């Protein structure tokens, strides 16, 4: 059916919406694809829904192609499965919760949440398989759904790129053996590569943090883009990883047999790395080269905050030219320190220092000798002491002497001090070496469009998903989880495909194959355009036909470019010579084609675009 602009529920906007910062948000609203309903929540108009459905269909086809089967869960779920998995608590404020009428336990009109709007569905998939399958013969199985998900984002932004309601494809693989699980993972990985290929989106897989649910392998598909919220690194040799997942390359340990004993120097007014380096060079210079920040050991006081609000102080030692990335620290510090739950890492505040009088701000150090350790679980202070992998045995440092205005010079790691555990926590910098030896890293921003990972057996364990194996024994099922942000990908497509006039859809998801514009006086152009539209539809092309009788040519051209269908056909002044104009939206190039040959030409063109 030809879409007629005279009837289409569409109103394009000439002004940019005041709340839209990024291109995709601006253009999708201006071109009449979506409307904001609430912060981070959008309504879909006819054009937007068409594109969304086409995008979903591509994902569906590629999921079906790897043998995954589509199911559909409710978005509204009871809280019990999430309580069992622990995520009712660990997700915290991140989920929308609500109470039904039976939840009025305390007094009327006060409801206690006993339902949630699902942020993701691991629990439900796991329980469904548990419900129906009980034999190894039933596995492996891959299930997926394309669902609306809800997350109560603290700060929704950038239109569809970070919403509180969004469409996501999530699939899950259930296998008896790790080998099968690995195969399911690889199949999903290949399917994602094909999806991005069909969309023409240059999203790349990067090594990712496994997160709090454990698991062994994890990759994110990031679309490189300056407005992206994720930072990843890449090397010339092809190593790619999210900054949260990068591992450092430590230097070789040094021999220290001939290292002189550490010395304490009076270093007044040196409570920052810079003042310390300046003072060291001024009053205690070394022979061969000046001291730099990299010669100092910075002991950063952090606080690990538990979901209950408990504050555990810890100290992370890093070279003085480096900063601690709290987010990276968060990934592992909980398990390192044996603190359970979804923790966060923050900078220590004065109240934290107040509880640990042994910490002299600006002059903190591990102590002068192993016998008199100042930091560490077994030390005088009892404060856990973690160190960056760059601090290797034999490395020598200038660091605090735990007394105001005094520093130790020549403190040797492994000889004079030690630490409870290593930790990856420094901010990754351009030029750091890739862990696989493939060259120096450079950082880029990206939009996370997909995340695939092997979940291991966490959910199947806590929810009791076991099958009988071939020996008749209970075997806990291994799971994989694979997310794909459908609405986010739609926005990313606009980020990747637009110019200052509007959207330029790839043919694979465009709301139509042809945007047909009739312009001119008299009924001839409209009659000719009408007939052309019918012939194009009969030839299998979808058409948006601008049949508005009163709109001026400028308005029609402007709208066509804003809406972004890849091929614009103009029936107008050329008609007197038997011609129509075919314009490529992306290049802007136009050519005249005879009216009689137009259908054949456009069918051929559409075939090359697809």
Q: Which residues bind RNA (CB under 7 A)?
A: 11-19, 21, 36, 38-40, 94, 119-120, 122, 151, 153-158, 162, 168, 170, 211-213, 229, 326-327, 330, 342, 344-345, 451, 453, 481, 483, 501, 519-521, 549-555, 557-559, 561-562, 570-574, 581, 583, 590
CB 346 to RNA: min, Å: 7
H or E, element range at 280: helix 273-283
Q: How far is the CB of 460 from RNA (least distance, A)?
A: 16
Q: Hey, what are 145's tokens?
A: 């759904």
Provide the minimum distance between the beta carbon of 20 and RNA in the complex, in angstroms, as a whole number: 7
Where does 53-127 show beta strands of DSSP type E?
A: 69-70, 76-78, 96-98, 115-117
User: What are the CA-CA distances from residue 599 to residues 536, 594, 603 (Å)?
Assistant: 6, 9, 6
Peptide linkage before 140 cis (omega within 30 of 0): yes
Smallest gap from Cβ 149 to RNA, in A, equals 8
CA distance 41 to 38: 5
- Closest by CA to 495, choosing from 507, 483, 504, 486, is 504
CB 408 to RNA: min, Å: 31
Of 366 and 483, nearer to RNA (C-beta) is 483
Sign of the CA dihedral with 192 first, then 193, 197, and 198 last: negative
User: How is residue 79 written in tokens?
Assistant: 């809280």
Distance CA 559, CA 440 (A): 46
Q: Is 571 exposed, middle or buried (0-12, 13-18, 19+ CB in 10 A)?
A: buried
| Phi, psi dihedral angles at 528 (to 5 degrees) | -65, -40
Q: Nearest approach, Cβ of 426 to RNA (angstroms)?
A: 15
- The residue among 568 and 606 lying less far from RNA, judged by its C-beta, is 568
Cα 93 from Cα 307, distance rounded (Å): 11
Residue 447 to residues 58, 156, 228, 454, 485: CA-CA distances in angstroms? 20, 15, 4, 21, 10
Q: How far is the CB of 445 from RNA (least distance, A)?
A: 10
| Smallest gap from residue 342 Cβ to RNA (A) | 7
Q: Which is nearer to RNA, 13 or 76 (CB)?
A: 13
Instruction: Indicate the residue among 141 and 555 with the shorter CB distance to RNA.
Output: 555
Name the residue nearer to RNA (CB basis): 271 or 342: 342
CB of 306 to RNA, least distance (A): 12
Complex with RNA: residue 360 or 560, whichever CB lies closer: 560
Residue whose CB is less far from RNA, 344 or 438: 344
Helices 23-30 + 486-496 axis angle, to 10: 100
Query: Toward RNA, which CB reaches closer, 143 or 375?
Result: 143
Residue closer to RNA by CB (options 24, 399) is 24
Among residues 145, 43, 36, 28, which one has the least CA distance to residue 511? 28
């Amino acid at each position: 059916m030809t879409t007629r602009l005279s009837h289409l529920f569409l109103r394009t906007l000439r002004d940019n919406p005041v709340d839209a910062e990024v291109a995709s948000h601006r253009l999708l609203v201006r071109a009449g694809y979506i409307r904001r309903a609430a912060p981070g929540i959008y309504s879909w108009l006819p054009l937007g829904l068409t594109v969304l459905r086409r995008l979903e269909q591509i994902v569906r086809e590629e999921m079906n192609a790897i043998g995954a089967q589509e199911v559909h869960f409710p978005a509204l779920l009871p809280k019990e499965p999430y309580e069992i998995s622990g995520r009712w608590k660990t997700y915290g404020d991140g989920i929308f919760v609500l109470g039904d009428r039976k939840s009025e336990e305390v007094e009327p009109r006060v409801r206690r949440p006993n339902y949630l709007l699902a942020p993701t569905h691991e629990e439900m998939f796991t329980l469904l398989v548990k419900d129906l399958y009980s034999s190894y013969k039933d596995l492996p199985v891959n299930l997926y759904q394309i669902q609306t998900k809800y997350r109560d984002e603290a700060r929704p932004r950038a239109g569809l790129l970070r919403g509180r309601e969004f469409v996501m494809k999530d699939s899950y693989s259930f296998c008896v053996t790790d080998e099968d699980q690995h195969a399911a993972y690889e199949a999903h990985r290949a399917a994602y590569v094909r999806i991005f290929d069909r969309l023409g989106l240059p999203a790349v897989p990067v090594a990712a943090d496994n997160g709090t649910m454990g698991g062994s392998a994890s990759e994110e598909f990031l679309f490189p883009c300056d407005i992206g919220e994720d930072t990843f690194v890449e090397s010339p040799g092809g190593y790619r990883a999210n900054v949260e997942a990068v591992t450092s390359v430590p230097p070789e340990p040094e021999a220290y047999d001939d290292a002189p004993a550490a010395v304490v120097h009076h270093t007044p007014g040196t409570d920052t790395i810079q003042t310390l380096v300046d003072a060291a060079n001024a009053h205690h210079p070394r022979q061969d080269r000046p001291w730099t920040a990299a010669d100092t050991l910075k002991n950063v006081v952090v606080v690990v905050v538990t979901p209950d609000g408990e504050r555990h102080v810890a100290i992370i030692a890093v070279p003085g030219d480096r900063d601690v990335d709290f987010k990276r620290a968060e990934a592992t510090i909980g398990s390192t320190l044996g603190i359970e739950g979804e923790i966060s890492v923050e900078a220590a505040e004065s109240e934290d220092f107040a509880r640990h009088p042994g910490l002299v701000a600006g002059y903190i150090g591990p102590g002068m000798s192993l016998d008199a350790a100042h930091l560490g679980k077994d030390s005088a202070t009892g404060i856990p002491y973690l160190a960056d992998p760059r601090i290797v045995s034999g490395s020598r440092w200038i660091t605090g002497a735990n007394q105001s205005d005094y520093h130790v010079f020549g403190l040797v790691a492994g000889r004079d001090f030690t630490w409870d555990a290593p930790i990856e926590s420094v901010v990754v910098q351009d030029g750091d070496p890739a862990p696989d030896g493939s060259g120096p890293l450079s950082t880029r921003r990206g939009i996370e469009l997909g995340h695939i990972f092997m979940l291991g057996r966490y959910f199947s364990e806590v929810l009791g998903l076991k099958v009988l194996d071939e020996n008749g024994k209970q075997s806990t099922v291994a799971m994989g989880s694979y997310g794909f942000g459908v609405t986010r990908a739609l926005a990313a497509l606009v980020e990747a495909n637009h110019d200052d006039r509007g959207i330029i859809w790839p043919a694979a998801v465009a709301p139509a194959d042809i945007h047909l514009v009739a312009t001119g006086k008299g009924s001839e152009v409209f009659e000719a355009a009408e007939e052309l539209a019918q012939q194009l539809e009969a030839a299998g092309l979808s058409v948006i036909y601008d049949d508005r009788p009163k709109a001026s040519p400028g308005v029609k051209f402007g709208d066509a470019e804003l809406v972004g269908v890849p091929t614009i056909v103009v029936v107008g002044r050329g008609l007197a010579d038997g011609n129509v104009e075919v314009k490529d939206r992306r290049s802007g190039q136009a050519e005249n084609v005879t009216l009689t040959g137009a259908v054949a030409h456009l069918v051929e063109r559409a075939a090359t675009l697809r």
